[in-house]
Amino acid sequence: MAMSMGGGGGSMADINVTPMIDILLVLLIIFMVIVPVTPKGLDALVPQPPKTKQPESEKNDRTIVVQILFRGMNTPPMYKINETDVAKAELLPRLTDIYANRAERIMFVKGDDKLDFRYVAEVIDIGRSASVDHIGLMTPKILAGQ
């Protein structure tokens, strides 16, 4: 048995790659399992243009706007559904009739600036009772520079 007495550079260190490959395979499996479980975003429907032209009267019938008009400090407000005067007691039956056969149950509420918000809240409650799905509040346009 001979020993080499060369002036070599000392001990040689080799990286053991086997544990790194094991860790890599475990991480790969973890990511393959996690990726299908990640939550996806909201499903959004993009509005499509109508296939046929509709007359103006049919276009206006789709949008329901309930207006609450201020008449004075000690007087109850006046109510309108699409520019038609309606008494407060008739709001629920009229809205129920309007939304009885509609697929889109969307209503807009527009109140005067001087009006107490409780009247707007009452109309929102009446709309919910008439099975309206989405209720939007209309606000006045604010012009630039004001």
Residue 2 located in a structural domain: no
* CATH code, domain carrying 67: 3.30.420.270
Residue pLDDT, tens place only, 14-47: 778 888 899 999 999 998 888 776 566 666 666 6
- Identify the CA nearest to 66 among candidates 17, 19, 132: 132
SS3 percent helix, strand, coil of the chain, rounded to 5, is 35, 15, 50
- Provide the Cα torsion 116, 122, 128, 134; round to 10°: -10
Q: Give the pLDDT confidence score for residue 44 in this predicted structure.
A: 63
Residue 66 β-bridge partners = 81, 109
Tell me which residues of the chain have a pLDDT lower than 50. 57-60
Q: Give the pLDDT confidence score for residue 58 in this predicted structure.
A: 47
Element (H, E) at 121: helix 117-129
- Identify the CA nearest to 116 among candidates 58, 72, 51, 63: 72
Q: Residue 80: give the domain boundaries.
A: 61-138
Q: Give the pLDDT confidence score for residue 92 in this predicted structure.
A: 92
Q: Give the pLDDT confidence score for residue 75 in this predicted structure.
A: 87
Number of domains in the chain: 1
CA 96 to chain centre: 24
